Chain A
Amino acid sequence: MARSRSRGQAQGWLFLAPALLFVALFVIAPLGQLAATSMTDRSLLGGGRFIGFANYVKIWHDSGFWRALLFTVKYTLVLTPILMGLGFALALLVSDNTPLKRLTRTIVFLPVVIGLSSSSLLWFWLFDERVGLFNRLLVDLHVIREPMVWFVSADLAFWAVVIAITWKVVGFGMVLFVSGIQAIHSDILEAALVDGAGYWARVRLIILPLCRRVLLLTTLVSAIGSMLAFDQFYIMTSGGPRGQTFTAVYSIYQSSFVSFRLGYGAALSIVLMLIILVLSAVQIALTARGAEP
């Protein structure tokens, strides 16, 4: 008995070995390297002198990075409620399984599966001051008199990205919320109906509380994604005007792969990683708690 158990153990590890090896080689080892590089003045051309925590001290005084981080936080704080609110509203609208509502779900979800680079370029075009149809539409609807130049102002560029990303990912939250709403037993809702609860009372008193966990988890996943934003700003604003729309990942990219200051870029990566780690830890704690009956 003991023997077969130990043989089972060895076999089990054998099945796990390839994946463990892969993660060790391409995740854990680079992570160690990242920490080591962050304590050097390494550049892409060479260098690599050990300089202790000098990079981290430099980050502390690097107003450019803090501005980028702050911008990323602002982007996350503005975008996340929009995505969750609209996603939930759409989910309420389309949670029944009628053909029209299924079709609506499919169409709303389409942008989620296309690339962020494709959607960002699509909106870069729609917002263009000369050939952009979004501008033309706003003029035709008499919302604005002249086509707007969106990307010369940091504020307008920010909102242009928020609009584009809302279109791109609102379906993600919607699908998760629809599943949350559909998981609610119909007898609970029918009981409320019999008790005379109106539609909005049912939403507020039954649907929202019972979807709380899905809402929380989706909010976190969405917020983590926004904190790591890069593609949309690289393509739509190039960080401009005057570097006012650089995100955290964008500034790491600039340090490491444009200025070739790899040591410094590594230190920035570690700082960002720690921030994300805190958010992920909350997410995992919530998932684990919800998994228990």
Chain B
Amino acid sequence: MTAAVVATGARALPARRKRLAPSALLASAACVGVIAVMGAPLALSFLASIKTPADASAIPPHYLPQALSADNYFKVIGYEAGLATYVANSGLVALMTIVACIALAAPAGYGLARFDMRGKEVAFLLLLAPIMIPYQALLTPLYLDFAKVGLVNTRVGLAIVHTILQLPFSIYLMRNSFEAIPREIEEAAMLDGCSSLSRLIHIFLPLALPAIVTVALFAFINSWNEFLAALIFMNRESSFTVPILLVSVQIGHHGAVDWGALQASIMIAILPCLAVYLALQRYYISGLLSGGVK
């Protein structure tokens, strides 16, 4: 708090410092208030997840746990097919989505950034088309196709749908990132006789590493969290992803919600997102800003 006051005060003209101090203080107080309001739901959910199961369903509820317990987590770990199955489903779908996005978007971004083809811009627009077509509309035909070739209830099938979602953003980002690489670097390699493919692998990809991290980060978070396609395509208990597990816990067995288990599964669902976001915050924000907001 003092740091904020000092920083704001230092920027102001010396004569005004006295008058600005109260407003800076007010702003700091407002920040603390905002942090409390925005942080409370997550904090309360975490605290509920470490209550005893009985305490988590207490009426009226308590804000803080009466006693600490990991029982809710054990319940989720043993839920139906077992938490490991659902986490593996979500994790593998996300991993395949990441790989597919990079494998498709890196060459496409390279082709768009460095080759001068007739009709290139048309191709670019075509590749961005999925932004304009809500994927929600494509789920019916995709479901029929996937049912025909046995891709319903498979991780590959869901990863394909998630790749559709992420591809336009990934290509846009890769193209911009490759275009920002100076031509001189590439020309030197051309004189050395590097083929265009090896230029992509040995020069462009390492230089565009931040963009690749951003592509992977968004692919992971959006795939891990995606709900509607997972709900439709993964309709067998053993193929549920984590978001579908959540709804399954919510509905419960006999109509009664197991609130403690629900909080524990929410914590499990959000933990990977919070972890990668906090670790790679810089990439996430830069992706958000440069991606023209998706």
Contacts and interface: CB of A to CB of B under 8 A. Distances in A.
A179 B140 contact: no
Interface residues of A, number: 91
Contacts of A23: 126-127, 129-130, 167
A30 B136 contact: no
- Chain B interface main SS type: helix
Nearest to A262: B140
A249 B137 CA distance: 8
A78 B284 CA distance: 28
A115 interface: yes
Nearest to A249: B136
A197 interface: no
B107 A16 contact: yes
B140 A266 contact: yes
Nearest to B196: A11
B249 to A, nearest CB: 8
Interface stretch (A52-60, A65-73, A129-137, A154-162): A129-137
Given A18-B108, A98-B7, A113-B221, 4 more contacts: A98-B3, A130-B61, A167-B38, A256-B143
B289 interface: yes
Interface string A14-57: 11101110110011101101100100000000000000000000
A123 B132 contact: no
A98 B4 contact: yes
A172 B38 CA distance: 13
A18 B104 contact: yes
Nearest to A132: B61
B227 A116 contact: yes
Contact of A272 (B59, B110, B137, B293): B137
- Residue of B108, B120, B281 with most partner-chain A CB within 10 A: B108
A27 B164 contact: yes
Contacts of A97: 7
Contacts of B23: 199
Nearest to B119: A13
Contacts of A257: 143, 232
- Residue of B28, B42, B278 with most partner-chain A CB within 10 A: B42
Interface stretch (B69-77, B79-87, B263-271): B263-271
Nearest to B39: A107
A19 B292 CA distance: 20
Interface string B108-147: 1011101111101001001101111110111111111100
Interface string B20-51: 00010001101110110011011011001000
B250 A22 contact: no
Contacts of B4: 96, 98-101
Nearest to B171: A19
Given A12-B117, A124-B250, A117 B133 contact: no
Interface string A215-253: 001100100000010110011000000000000010011
A280 B160 CA distance: 23
Given A15-B111, A116-B227, A27 B59 contact: no
A63 interface: no
B193 interface: no
Contacts of B266: 118, 121-122
Interface of A: 5, 8-9, 11-16, 18-20, 22-23, 26-28, 30-31, 33-34, 37, 90, 93-94, 96-101, 103-104, 106-108, 110-111, 113-118, 121-126, 128, 130-133, 136, 147, 167, 171-172, 175-176, 179, 193, 199, 217-218, 221, 228, 230-231, 234-235, 249, 252-253, 256-257, 262, 265-266, 269-270, 272-273, 276-277, 280-281, 284, 287
Contacts of A108: 34-35, 38
Contacts of B30: 93
Contact of B224 (A103, A115, A199, A273): A115
B137 A270 contact: yes
A35 to B, nearest CB: 9
Given A18-B103, A121-B246, A253-B228, A12 B116 contact: yes
B188 to A, nearest CB: 18
A19 B105 contact: yes
Contacts of A252: 136-137, 140
Given A131-B57, A133-B63, A34 B112 contact: no
